[in-house]
Amino acid sequence: RKKTIIDTDPGIDDAMAIFLALQSPELDVLGLTTIFGNVYTTLSTRNALHLLEIAGRADIPVAEGSHVTITKGTKLRVADFVHGADGLGNQNFPPPNGKPIDQSAAAFLVEQANLYPGEVTVVALGPLTNIALALQLDPGFPKKIGKIIILGGAFFVNGNVNPAAEANIFGDPEAADMVFTSGADVLVVGLNVTHQVVMTEADRDKLGRSDGKFAKYLCKILDIYFSYHRYAYETKGVYLHDPATVLAAVDPSLFTYTEGVVRVQTTGITRGLTILYNNKKRFGEVSEWCDKPTVKVAVTVDAPAVVKLVMDR
Ligand code: BDR
Ligand code: CA
């Protein structure tokens, strides 16, 4: 089983992704690390602990992540209008019993990478601050971590915060640029593929009728996520960003990929824009771009297979 750490900002689609990972026999979840994004970090941590308790997996450690961006200078933007003020659909869940471990997210990431060199996959479902901090803490991290699978960016399509930027990259563009150019084995899943992975109202109703372990819980918290998508997008359902990304860890063949350099714009109205350069024929010509390590970027997805796995599990 693949040793996996989920870096997350729960978040409704994060909750689905965490449950999906726990239901996936291919993955061994070593821990959750938390980050601001959909909610502030304190609430992210609380939600991560709550979700593990709901799942009966309070044995899995939660390491709290950064409360500020890597430059410490960026004003945080939370997405209560998408996920609810509590991040989990405003369901008034009681506070969790558990507590985070006495170690920062970055320290936990570095520790696990050193314990199991080359074996750990990080599935990053929020802004990339914790991963960037791990790089700063241990310059050997990119070579010791097995793989980093990122939900982030929008390649050749509009973002979702604004036309340029996707939310996780917008949350900490400087951190994202550090991670994309770190030399680690990075795989990026962006909105260009996740906007094809749609859960319909009919799927949600099916969850409401199902006795599956997480079905009724998810049906409830999904309500507000559906309302937001009805308002914001011309789609008959909701995007499964974070669950799709977990499935890239479970079965990479659900996607096809291109390889190139990805950089992140950090200034102006395009702050948070992800730019992919993958023209191998002209690589040497544009050295400011091509001197950087390449990453894999998902370009197509078997969307029906992804939705089916999410529903089944
Ligand atoms: C990403 O931002 C968050 O709202 C979601 O949880 C997902 O990780 C989509 O842009
Ligand atoms: Ca997320």
User: Over the stretch 197-242, which tens digit does the pLDDT of each residue have?
Assistant: 999 999 999 999 999 999 999 999 999 999 999 999 988 899 999 9
Report which protein residue has its CA nearest ligand 1's atom 10.
Answer: 167
Dihedral (CA of 22, 28, 34, 35) sign: negative
Encode pLDDT of 8-22 as tens digits.
Answer: 999 999 999 999 999
Q: What b/e readout covers 161-191, taking b as 16+ CB neighbours within 10 angstroms?
A: beebbbbbbbbbbbbbbbbbbbebbbbbbbb
Q: Does residue 151 line the site of ligand 1, with CB under 6 A?
A: yes
pLDDT score of 144: 98
Report which protein residue has its CA nearest ligand 1's atom 8.
Answer: 125
Q: Phi-psi category of 251—alpha, beta or left, where left has phi over 0 and alpha has psi -120 to 50?
A: beta
CA distance linking residue 9 with residue 11, whole number of Å: 6
Name which residue leads in pLDDT, 74 or 2: 2
Q: Assess contact for 120 and 3: CB atoms under 8 A.
A: yes
Q: Determine the distance separating the centroid of ligand 1 and the alpha carbon of 152, expressed in angstroms.
A: 8
Q: Determine the distance separating the centroid of ligand 1 and the alpha carbon of 145, expressed in angstroms.
A: 23
pLDDT score of 169: 98
- Give the residue-averaged pLDDT of 186-203: 98
Report which protein residue has its CA nearest ligand 1's atom 2.
Answer: 167
Average pLDDT of the residues of the chain: 96
pLDDT score of 44: 98
Q: Assess contact for 142 and 109: CB atoms under 8 A.
A: no
Query: Around ion ligand 2, which residues have CB less than 5 A away?
Result: 9, 11, 14, 125-126, 242
166, 181, 170, 178: which is closest to 242 by C-alpha?
166
In the structure, what pLDDT confidence band is assigned to residue 142 with cuts at 50, 70 and 90?
very high
143: buried, middle or exposed (CB in 10 Å: 19+, 13-18, 0-12)? middle
Q: Does residue 240 line the site of ligand 1, with CB under 6 A?
A: no
Question: Which residues are known to be catalytic?
Answer: 9, 241
pLDDT score of 100: 98
pLDDT score of 76: 96
The ligand that comes nearest to the alpha carbon of residue 168 is: 1
Q: Does residue 47 line the site of ligand 1, with CB under 6 A?
A: no
Q: Determine the distance separating the centroid of ligand 2 and the alpha carbon of 114, expressed in angstroms.
A: 26
Q: Determine the distance separating the centroid of ligand 1 and the alpha carbon of 126, expressed in angstroms.
A: 7
Q: Does residue 79 line the site of ligand 1, with CB under 6 A?
A: yes
Q: Determine the distance separating the centroid of ligand 2 and the alpha carbon of 127, expressed in angstroms.
A: 8
Q: Does residue 13 line the site of ligand 1, with CB under 6 A?
A: yes
Q: Does residue 242 line the site of ligand 1, with CB under 6 A?
A: yes
Q: Determine the distance separating the centroid of ligand 2 and the alpha carbon of 287, expressed in angstroms.
A: 33
Residue 65 tokens read as: 């992540």
pLDDT score of 290: 79
Q: Does residue 7 line the site of ligand 1, with CB under 6 A?
A: no
Report which protein residue has its CA nearest ligand 1's atom 4.
Answer: 38
